[in-house]
Amino acid sequence: QVQLVQSGAEVKKPGASVKVSCKASGYTFTSYYMHWVRQAPGQGLEWMGIINPSGGSTSYAQKFQGRVTMTRDTSTSTVYMELSSLRSEDTAVYYCAIKDSPYYYYGMDVWGQGTTVTVSS
């Protein structure tokens, strides 16, 4: 079955970077775009960006431009999301998600389990 498995929780100091991974299985990795979404404690969902695993092209939310980088490794079916210059407001659960079809604009129906990133001095 289609599955996304994310890396474990991270604790980082302000100003550092974090790199979260999302390993895909159960489908052809290069067929479906992958989104990253985060959720701060007690807050709503925030879309960060999307990557096309086939060619590696990306599109980021304006808020994260210059601070986020999404990459992929087709040999391991893994997508990475790196966020730099961390501040306390980046403390959140980070999710990867896909639409289990080529129509990536029709929502996200498969989600990773989430990775908690805590930014604290």
Binding site for another protein (CB under 8 A): 35, 37, 44-47, 49-50, 59-63, 95, 97, 99, 104-109, 111-114
Using the structure block, give the residue that is written with the tokens 């997508």.
79
Strands (E), the chain: 3-6, 10-12, 18-25, 34-39, 45-51, 58-60, 68-73, 78-83, 92-98, 110-111, 115-119
Closer residue to another protein, CB minimum distance, 29 or 94: 94
| Sheet (strand 18-25) strand order | 3-6, 18-25, 78-83, 68-73
Closer residue to another protein, CB minimum distance, 78 or 115: 115
In the complex, what is the shortest distance from the CB of residue 108 to another protein, in angstroms, rounded to a whole number?
6
Closer residue to another protein, CB minimum distance, 16 or 45: 45
In the complex, what is the shortest distance from the CB of residue 80 to another protein, in angstroms, rounded to a whole number?
19
In the complex, what is the shortest distance from the CB of residue 32 to another protein, in angstroms, rounded to a whole number?
14
